[in-house]
Amino acid sequence: MNLATAIAPGGAQLTGAAFSKQPVPEPASMPMLRQYLRMVMRWRYVILSIIAACILLGLIITLLMTPKYTATASIEVLRESSKVTDIQGVEREASLADQEFYQTQYGLLKSRSLSERVAQQLKLVDDPKFFDQFGAAADTPAFNVVNGRYPAGGRLERQRVAGKVLRDNLSITPTRLSRLVDISFTSPDPTFSAQVANAWAENFIQTNLERKVQATSYGRNLLQRQLAQAKERLDASQRQLVNYASAQQIINLPAQSGDGRATAERSIVADDLATLNAALSQAVAERIQAEARFRQAGAAGASTEALRNTAINNLRQRRAELAADYQRLMVQFQPDYPAAKAVQSQIDQLDRSIAREEGRVSGSLEADFREARERERGLQNKVDALKMSYLDLRRRSIQYNIYQQEVDTNRALYDGLLQRFKEIGVAGGVGINNISVVDIADSPQKPSSPRLLLNLLLSLLVGIGLGAVTAFALEQIDEAIADPAEVERRLGLPLLGSVPKVDGSTPKEALLDRKSDLFDAYLAVQTSLAFTTENGIPRTFAVTSTRPAEGKSTTALALATTLSRGQRKILLVDGDMRSPSIHQMGGVDHDRGLSNFLAGDDDIATMLFPMQDLGFMAMSAGPIPPNAAELLTGNRLAVLVERLLEQYDHVIIDSPPVMGLADAPLIASRVEGVIYAVESHGIRSSLVKTALNRLVSANARIFGGVLTKFEARKAHYGYGYEYGYGYGRERDEKA
């Protein structure tokens, strides 16, 4: 059998194609939130320590800080526009300039000139205690104290420094959606803080008044010069207008509006023309009405006036009654009947009376029509004459109107300037200010800083941040396998099971107790191993690890024990010829064993010894050879495995570690597969990956990994890996 041949269960041979090179599978990705939670749980003690240290440091710093007191004065800033040269249409609307105005006021409140003015008022420029209190005394000649006083030569420099100190400890806070502004000053002395805040508000109001006085003084002088010039122009234009009106004999009367205010002047001709034109319009209307009534009476025979005449209506009513009586007589008598003739005679008389009345009405309508026509003609002649006079006046009034417009313009400008001059005089004399104090600053009763709760909260946040950064850095540096889930996630190995760390007894003693946690854990590994091949548990497999003392020998011993409990013939081979250990568990020496067979000795029976208490046979590693790798390069190991499978159901080889040795890949290539033991919290994952790649490059099949020496309390989610269910827990409860 060559090196690429292995023994399959049942004695069948599998070629090297069945053990083709297997790449290490990619680890399954974990949700980001679970990764962060796992990282926090793993480094929780580090994070808590950093948080506690930050809180303690914040507490110490807070207790060592000097208490500071903040006093606040509140002022109201009203929006006002400059009215010195306020001309309609020149200035912007006030609402558009509000933001610019208030931002300007906030800047003025923080100005250097105002701070230095406050320093001078409070006599801080020459006060050494002030500069020492704020630590502003510089090592310059201006701050050299001579006889308890500063020299006069450095007053300007001290004034500049004092103003800067006040500005650095001052805060201007506008109240949102209002005209109120808070002026706050902070210092170690509560009384001094209140003095500075109040002095700041008072000096700001005073400087605002001074700027207004300066502005009104300049505006008053300017307007006074403009008033003199405007008055000269107005007088000249008025004299020119009067002279021209006298020369052209233009007489205009001042007109009055309904509310008594004077309006534009009107000429006598225009008034007469307007009056006669209105009378003419009325005459035309009356003439048209009279003509319509006259034409209607002539066309229809009976005018509207006739129909409305009471006498005519009474005659017609009487005639209607007689006509009715006549018709009743005609029913019984002839027209020549005397009574009928009398009635007819009365009817004829009434008809003549009605005709006379209607003729009288028609004559009256004709007379009215002629009178209205004559009146219209007379008014028309007078209006035509006045029109000619008015047109002549208009021609002569063109230049007059030009002079009048000049007079009106000069008068409007003069009146406007005079009104502004009066307003400036009143404003400058009274001293109206748009800034007022709402609340004066009182001496604060408790310090504004340091704030213990706020500082502790900030320390907590800083601690959480530093703890998170530290945990993230440690997580990136630490490559240890912390819990069973990382076997698959980091290494890409199927997890066969996790084995708890044994405390207080040896692994062999724990295996002898079928109710122990260790025995239960390896039973779970055996169950998982049964699903790794089509025929169940592989008949030949090796157990190896990355480095010594990771629990590979214990894993091999435990799997042999659990398999033997299933009434199977098991042989455990100690393949670690450099550091043998199986013979110690059996209480024998290693004078004969695996190295003897690999060297050519075929007497296998003398190399075996029973593990009476565990129920299986074992083969020691034999004498330690000069070079174990040379013995494994031949085909003797494959021959040994083939001969052992004739007598035993399963052959388990306790292989040497992978790193630094060639033994493990050589042994792995002679069996069906490898079970890889990984120590929990004991080895870097990068080193394990390197060892796994060595096995894969040797065409070894890796069934999965077993996490050894696992402690649930050190895992990221300890509640997920509890042991002791059943027998073990009963013992704990009894204890």
d(CA 548, CA 209): 91
- Residue with tokens 């914040």, as numbered in its chain: 58
Both tokens of residue 292? 């319509």
Q: How far is CA 16 from the centre of its chain?
A: 64
Positive/negative CA dihedral, 641, 643, 644, 645: positive
> How many whole angstroms from its chain centre is CA 373?
88
Q: pLDDT (tens digit, 9 = 90+) per residue, 394-426? A: 777 777 778 888 888 888 888 887 887 777 665
Q: What is the pLDDT of residue 253?
A: 65
465 vs 51: CA distance, rounded Å: 9
Render pLDDT for 252-293 as a digit per residue (tens, 0 to 9). 666 655 555 545 566 666 777 778 778 878 878 877 877 776
State how far the Cα of 392 lies from the Cα of 408, in Å rounded to an integer.
24
- Of all residues in the chain, the percent with pLDDT exceeding 70 is 81
Pair of tokens at residue 499:
């084995």
Q: What is the structure's pLDDT at 367?
A: 76
All residues at 6 or more sequence positions from 566 whose CB lies less than 8 Å from its CB, including other chains? none
CA 265 to chain centre: 68
pLDDT of residue 247: 77
Query: What is the Cα–Cα distance from 20 to 42, expressed in whole angstroms?
Result: 38
Q: Predicted confidence band at 14 (pLDDT cuts at 50, 70, 90)? A: very low
SS3 542: strand
What would the mean pLDDT of 643-671 be, rounded to a whole number?
A: 90
CA distance 505 to 59: 48
Average pLDDT, the chain: 79
Burial 351-367 (b: 16+ CB within 10 A, else e): eebbeebbeebbeebee
Angle, CA 276 vertex, CA 275 and CA 277 arms, to 5°: 90
Q: Which long-range contacts (CB under 8 A, 24 or more apart) does 484-487 make?
A: 484/707, 484/710, 484/715, 484/721, 486/685, 487/678, 487/705, 487/707
**Cβ atoms of residues 700 and 708 within 8 Å:** no
> Are the CB atoms for 582 and 618 separated by under 8 Å?
yes
Task: Output 259 or 591, whichever has higher pLDDT.
Answer: 591
Longest dimension (CA), the chain: 190
pLDDT in tens, 80-129: 644 444 444 444 454 555 788 888 888 988 999 999 999 999 988 888 88
Q: Which two tokens stand for residue 355?
A: 């005709």
Among residues 533, 558, 528, which one has the least CA distance to residue 543? 558
C-alpha distances (whole Å) from 644 to each of 552, 638, 640 are 22, 10, 6
pLDDT of residue 264: 58
Residue in 664, 684, 673 with CA at minimum distance from that of residue 528: 673
Structure tokens at 211: 């700027």
Burial of 705 (0-12, 13-18, 19+ CB in 10 A): buried
**Per-residue pLDDT reduced to its tens digit, 210-264:** 887 776 666 677 777 888 888 888 888 888 878 877 777 676 666 655 555 545 5
Higher per-residue confidence, 597 vs 347 = 597
Entry field: residues in the chain = 735
Distances (CA, A) of 395 to 248, 254, 323: 11, 20, 74
Using 50, 70 and 90 to split pLDDT, how confident is the model at 650?
very high
Strand partners, 13: 7
Which residue in this structure is represented by tokens 């006509």? 323
- What SS3 class is residue 181? strand
Q: Got the DSSP string for 250-311?
A: --EE--B-TTS-B---EEHHHHHHHHHHHHHHHHHHHHHHHHHHHHHHHHHSS-HHHHH-HH
pLDDT for position 478 = 67
pLDDT digits (tens, 9 = 90+) for 660-692: 788 889 999 899 999 999 988 777 878 888 888
Q: Which tokens is 129 given?
A: 């205690």
CB 616 within 8 Å of CB 561: yes
Q: Are 154 and 140 in contact (CB under 8 A)?
A: yes
Count of beta carbons in the 10 Å neighbourhood of residue 427: 18
Confidence band of 718 (pLDDT split at 50, 70, 90): very low
Cα separation, 204 vs 435, in Å, equals 9
AA letter at 24 = V
Q: How far apart are CA 255 and CA 148, in angstroms?
A: 84
Helix (H) / strand (E) element for 77: namely strand 69-77
